[in-house]
């Protein structure tokens, strides 16, 4: 099943085999192709290239064309200030600065950056017929705030009629823009109205509901899908949002997913969200992302849920974090692993593994979820099993299935982070990927060689010469060297002339020769080179 079909299935509240995923790639698309936010948002080619890159990396089921809630406002005369790393900000409000509604006309498809967005939508549609394309439109309340500034909050009480008129204009604008996006080929119209998080239920019902409902109605009549995005603390308005009859609502981390799930499903509406943008996706590690994505997946469930970030992805969100989410989503085994580890991590005991792998045999450990239930784990165990006979008696292998507590401890003690992993003598050797037989054999052989080398080295013999710094002792040292040269032996020769140490060898007369086993070979005389050679042969 392709992404678009999967999204449609989730919107229709039919259970899905895999939860669909819609990364909200806005200016992050520019980051992917090394373009600053301003250049990116002004060019249909750049947007198409950025989103194409995101599709290639993150394997989404749906994706927005552009995430910029200033497009309509800019066309309507708001000044905007560009920033390198984020969407622009509105910095002037025409309706608070002398203009009136009569001076404003609803934007046409060729106006300002709308033309850029629609062109990008058409290109992406052609390139990706199987992915759900989201056309994002600025919600009427947020647009009204752009046009009027914060005066809107006071005027809702003091001049409600004026606000209703502005909201009506913004609603008609939203309907038009929705139309343009649908004609450009978008499958989903997402109305994004973050500022509704600022108002209470009653105000929402009065000033927002009548103006967003027709937008969703219009999308429905065109046989397309609609979504209502909000971010911030909009918990008080979730029910009211559902009552505006979108097909889906999408929320950010400020609202618990289960809270939304309960209300949305009861109202027969699908829902999405709410991965943490900053703390996890932008700043967190891959591990954080995996754990958090799984938490969302488990809370959301497989009916009517779409996994998405809470809002527009920060520009510099590390790609590896989003790839991690995509991988997790497509891999039920990995989900099971994260679930298992999460449960067990807090009561872990960490072993001291400093001396692990020092025994004579080479130990191959395979850390798995459970080779019976996890296919990649099974293949990894089989790979080791296959090569083990080559090293009969020299190599020992063990599987550590982390379903058991002590094996989780073992895994953490070896600093293993991914499953399955092969460790050779306590060192991580192969992570996630099953090594080809030759490579595995070579890795084990290398370790055997290393150990052999160590063994040979540690057996290096030692001979101790004791004496005073006199002629006799000089002679002894020379003969020992000579014997070594003649034998071709490489010995450790220790010279001891310190009176205190001499006593500890039990030597009475000097000079003396003591072998590595602390056996006194001679004392009080200088033996011949031939004799010394015989001794050295024994060592």
Partner 1 sequence: MMKIPLHIVSGFLGSGKTTLLKKIIHTYSGQYRLGIIQNEFAPANVDGEELINTGKDFHLLEINNGSVFCACLLGDFSRSLEKFIDTCHPDILIIEASGLSDTTSTAEVILSGHLSDKLFLASNWCIVDTVNYHRTGSLKQRVEHQIRMADIVMINKTDLAEEQMVKKTVEEVRITNPFAEIQLTRFCDADIHIGQSAINKFYPGHNQSLAKPEINSMVMKSGKKISCESLVLFMKEWAPKSFRIKGYINLENAETWAVQSVFEKTEMAKTSQRFHPTELIALTDQFTLREWNQAFRKLS
DSSP 235: G
Say whether the peptide bond before residue 511 is cis (omega within 30 degrees of 0): yes
User: Residue 48: which of 185, 148, 252 has the closest Cα?
Assistant: 185
Q: How far is the CB of 120 from partner 1 (least distance, A)?
A: 20
| Nearer to partner 1 among residue 239 and residue 534 (C-beta) | 239
Q: How far is the CB of 414 from partner 1 (least distance, A)?
A: 21
First-to-last C-alpha distance (Å) of the chain: 73
Q: How far is the CB of 123 from partner 1 (least distance, A)?
A: 25
| Nearer to partner 1 among residue 206 and residue 515 (C-beta) | 206
Q: How far is the CB of 510 from partner 1 (least distance, A)?
A: 59
Spell out the residues 6+ positions from residue 532 whose beta carbon is closer than 8 angstroms to its own: 479, 480, 483, 513
In 349-507, the DSSP E strands lie at 362-368, 395-401, 421-424, 427-431, 462-466, 492-496
Q: From CA 34, how far away is CA 250, in angstroms rounded?
A: 29
Say whether the peptide bond before residue 368 is cis (omega within 30 degrees of 0): no
Q: From CA 116, how far away is CA 113, in angstroms rounded?
A: 5
Q: How far is the CB of 504 from partner 1 (least distance, A)?
A: 49
| Nearer to partner 1 among residue 113 and residue 315 (C-beta) | 315
Q: Which residues bind partner 1 (CB under 8 A)?
A: 81, 83, 85-86, 89-93, 149-150, 153-154, 156-157, 194, 197-200, 202-203, 231-233, 235-236, 252-259, 276-279, 282-283, 299, 310-317, 345-346
| Nearer to partner 1 among residue 149 and residue 357 (C-beta) | 149
- Paired sense of beta strands 462-466 and 512-514, if any: antiparallel
| Nearer to partner 1 among residue 156 and residue 394 (C-beta) | 156
The answer to whether residues 101 and 95 touch, using CB atoms and an 8 Å cutoff, is yes
| Nearer to partner 1 among residue 230 and residue 512 (C-beta) | 230
Q: How far is the CB of 233 from partner 1 (least distance, A)?
A: 6
Q: How far is the CB of 438 from partner 1 (least distance, A)?
A: 41
Q: From CA 319, how far away is CA 310, in angstroms rounded?
A: 17
| Nearer to partner 1 among residue 118 and residue 277 (C-beta) | 277
* DSSP SS3 for 445: helix
The CA distances from residue 287 to 21, 138, 342, 345, in Å, are 19, 34, 11, 13
In 10-104, the DSSP E strands lie at 62-64, 80-81, 89-90
Q: How far is the CB of 62 from partner 1 (least distance, A)?
A: 18
| Nearer to partner 1 among residue 89 and residue 454 (C-beta) | 89
């Amino acid at each position: 099943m392709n992404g678009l079909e999967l999204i449609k299935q989730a919107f229709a509240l039919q259970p899905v085999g895999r939860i669909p995923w819609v990364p909200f790639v806005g200016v992050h698309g520019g980051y992917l192709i090394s373009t600053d936010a301003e250049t990116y948002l002004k060019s249909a080619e750049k947007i198409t290239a950025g989103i194409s890159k995101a599709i290639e990396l993150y394997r989404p089921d749906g994706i927005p064309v552009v995430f910029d809630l200033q497009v309509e406002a800019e066309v309507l005369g708001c000044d905007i200030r560009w920033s390198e790393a984020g969407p622009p900000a509105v910095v002037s409000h025409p309706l608070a600065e002398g203009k009136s509604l009569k001076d404003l006309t609803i934007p046409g498809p060729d106006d300002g950056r709308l033309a850029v967005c629609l062109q990008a939508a058409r290109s992406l549609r052609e390139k990706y017929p199987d992915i759900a394309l989201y056309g994002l439109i600025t919600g009427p309340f947020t647009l009204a705030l752009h046009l009027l500034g914060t005066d809107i909050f006071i005027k809702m009480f003091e001049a409600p009629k004026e606000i209703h008129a502005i909201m009506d204009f913004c609603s008609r604008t939203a309907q038009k823009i929705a139309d343009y996006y649908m004609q450009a080929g978008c499958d989903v119209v997402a109305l994004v109205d973050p500022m509704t998080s600022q108002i209470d239920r009653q105000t929402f019902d009065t000033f927002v509901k009548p103006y967003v409902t027709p937008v969703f109605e219009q999308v429905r009549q065109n046989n397309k899908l609609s979504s209502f995005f909000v971010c911030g603390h909009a918990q008080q308005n979730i029910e009211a949002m559902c009552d505006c009859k979108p097909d889906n609502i999408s929320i950010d981390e400020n609202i618990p997913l289960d809270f939304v799930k309960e209300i949305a499903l009861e109202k027969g509406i699908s829902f999405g969200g709410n991965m943490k943008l900053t703390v996890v996706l932008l700043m967190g590690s891959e591990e954080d992302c995996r754990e958090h994505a799984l938490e969302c997946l488990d809370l959301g469930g497989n009916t009517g849920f779409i996994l998405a970030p809470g809002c527009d992805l920060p520009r510099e969100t590390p790609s590896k974090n989003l790839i991690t989410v995509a991988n997790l989503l497509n891999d039920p085994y990995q989900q099971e692993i994260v679930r298992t580890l999460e449960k067990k991590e807090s009561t872990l005991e960490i072993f001291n593994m400093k001396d692990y792998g020092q025994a004579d045999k080479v130990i191959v450990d395979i850390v798995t979820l459970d080779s019976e239930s996890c296919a990649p784990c099974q293949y990894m165990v089989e790979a080791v099993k296959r090569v083990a006979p080559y090293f009969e008696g020299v190599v020992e292998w063990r599987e550590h299935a982390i379903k058991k507590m002590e094996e989780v401890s073992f895994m953490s003690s070896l600093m293993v982070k991914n499953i399955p992993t092969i460790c050779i003598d306590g060192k991580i050797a192969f992570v996630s990927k099953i090594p080809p037989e030759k490579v595995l054999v070579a890795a084990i052989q290398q370790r055997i060689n290393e150990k052999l080398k160590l063994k040979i080295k540690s057996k290096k013999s030692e001979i101790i010469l004791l004496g005073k710094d006199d002629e006799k002792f000089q002679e002894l040292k020379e003969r020992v060297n000579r014997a070594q040269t003649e034998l071709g032996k490489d010995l450790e020769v220790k010279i001891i002339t310190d009176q205190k140490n001499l006593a500890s060898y039990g030597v009475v007369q000097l000079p003396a020769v003591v072998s590595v086993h602390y056996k006194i070979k001679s004392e009080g005389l200088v033996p011949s080179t031939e004799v010394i050679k015989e001794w050295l042969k024994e060592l």
